[in-house]
């Protein structure tokens, strides 16, 4: 099969909804019936949260929605800032050896201005000057950009624009891969309501399913092909997790550690490890986050740092594993077209491909970065299972990639 044009997407699909389907439709309207590869966050999302359903369930939903191949975005990428998230995702898509375009959503129709901003460069001294004012990374970026061109300020109105900028910057390392922005329509990112006739907010959809199940509003927000799977998932298990178990686990691991251990294992800076340590007895995961958050340290960053801590150990520090680019292509699901893509990737891919995890996979790791990154992915799934079911059963060793039979 000729794969002269293959589109890559970096996503969370938490869960795959009508907005994601809209993106695929726009991609195929522009390019024809092209194959689509999605690099999807696994057991933790970039907001520092557990996803609604596990990575294999979400991969199956993505396949039902029209994606051809789903690869896992390692947790070393999903638990980083927008910059780390985008860099890791784009690097994996490039490593497939088949992706020719990367598509992403953005709130602006002025893609030329977005591309212009992505090419801007600011000195480390300029960054430090703005960060000293107590700004978060996003606010600092906005201030620097607007200082150079006031028109740039409008591009910072939505988080999809921030991610779009990071995708464009990441793509600069891979000139053979072209960007394919898709203008995002519908409710605003993070909106808490599901409005009839508009593309949904993932936040509102998750809340609706968590609190009320598959209501009429939730069903409208999901592609029809996915509804049978969603109903099956809800019959199998009530979504959500035990927050008390998470709170106890975090409290114990912090109490038996030290600020020095925090600094050695997770991506803290500017003495943030002392701030976390000082507030370790705030009573809960969320309590620690709220006690530590400031204009400079947003909630999402603190949540990611606490997950980094829970995943880390002395031998496998998150901060060490995250210094390297992703080391493997982990397959979560594929269609028939995806199966053919995998055959081509065996010849072209720049990274090892994992379709299954065996007992000796870690022992046979080709390098230390591979071993550390995979260890963290395995721990992330164990944590997900512990918090959602109360059991850790090594599912990464048992689960197989999901397959969409038709299409």
350 in Cβ contact with 95 (< 8 Å) = yes
Range of weakest confidence among 42-51, 74-83, 155-164: 155-164
- Give percent of the chain above pLDDT 70: 95
pLDDT of the residue at 407: 46
d(CA 222, CA 216): 10
pTM of the model as a whole: 0.94
Q: What is the pLDDT of residues 56-101, one digit of tens each?
A: 999 999 999 999 999 999 999 999 999 999 999 999 999 999 999 9
For residue 309, what is the enclosing H or E element? helix 299-311
Q: Structural domains in the chain?
A: 7-236 (3.40.50.620), 243-321 (no CATH)
- For residue 137, the tally of other CB atoms under 10 A from its CB is 17
Residue 135, pLDDT score: 81
Tell me the sheet residues that pair with 329: 353
Widest Cα–Cα separation across the chain: 58
């Amino acid at each position: 099969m000729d794969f002269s044009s293959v589109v890559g997407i970096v996503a969370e699909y938490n869960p795959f909804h009508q907005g994601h389907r809209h993106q695929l439709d726009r991609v195929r309207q522009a390019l024809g019936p092209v194959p689509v590869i999605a690099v999807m966050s696994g057991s933790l999302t970039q907001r520092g949260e557990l996803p609604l359903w596990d990575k294999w369930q979400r991969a199956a939903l993505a396949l039902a929605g029209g994606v051809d191949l789903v690869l896992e975005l390692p947790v070393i990428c999903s638990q980083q800032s927008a910059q780390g998230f985008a860099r890791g995702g784009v690097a994996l898509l490039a490593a497939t050896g088949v992706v020719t375009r990367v598509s992403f959503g953005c709130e602006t129709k002025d893609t030329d201005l977005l591309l212009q901003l992505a090419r801007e460069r600011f000195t480390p001294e300029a960054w430090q000057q703005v960060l000293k004012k107590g700004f978060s990374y996003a606010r600092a970026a906005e201030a620097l950009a607007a200082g150079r061109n006031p028109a740039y300020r409008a591009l910072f109105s939505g988080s999809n624009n921030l991610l779009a900028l990071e995708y464009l910057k990441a793509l600069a390392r891979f000139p053979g891969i072209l960007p394919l922005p898709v203008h995002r329509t519908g409710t605003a990112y993070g909106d808490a309501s599901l409005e009839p006739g508009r593309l949904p907010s993932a936040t509102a959809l998750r809340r609706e399913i968590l609190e009320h199940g598959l209501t009429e509003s939730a069903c409208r927000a999901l592609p029809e092909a996915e509804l049978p799977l969603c109903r099956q998932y809800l019959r199998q298990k009530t979504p959500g997790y035990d927050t008390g178990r998470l709170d106890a686990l975090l409290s114990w691991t912090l109490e038996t550690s030290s600020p020095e251990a925090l600094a050695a294992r997770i991506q803290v800076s500017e003495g943030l490890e002392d701030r976390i340590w000082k507030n370790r007895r705030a009573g809960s995961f969320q309590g620690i986050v709220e006690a530590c958050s400031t204009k400079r340290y947003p909630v999402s960053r603190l949540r990611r740092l606490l997950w980094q801590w829970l995943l880390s150990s002395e031998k496998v520090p998150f901060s060490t594993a995250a210094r390297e680019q992703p080391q493997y292509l982990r397959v979560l699901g594929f269609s028939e077209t995806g199966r053919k893509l995998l055959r081509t990737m065996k010849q072209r891919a720049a990274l090892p491909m994992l379709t299954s995890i065996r007992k000796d996979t870690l022992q046979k790791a080709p390098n230390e970065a591979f071993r550390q990154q995979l260890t963290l992915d395995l721990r992330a799934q164990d944590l997900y299972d512990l918090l959602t079911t109360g059991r850790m059963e090594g599912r990464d060793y048992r689960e197989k990639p999901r397959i969409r039979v038709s299409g």
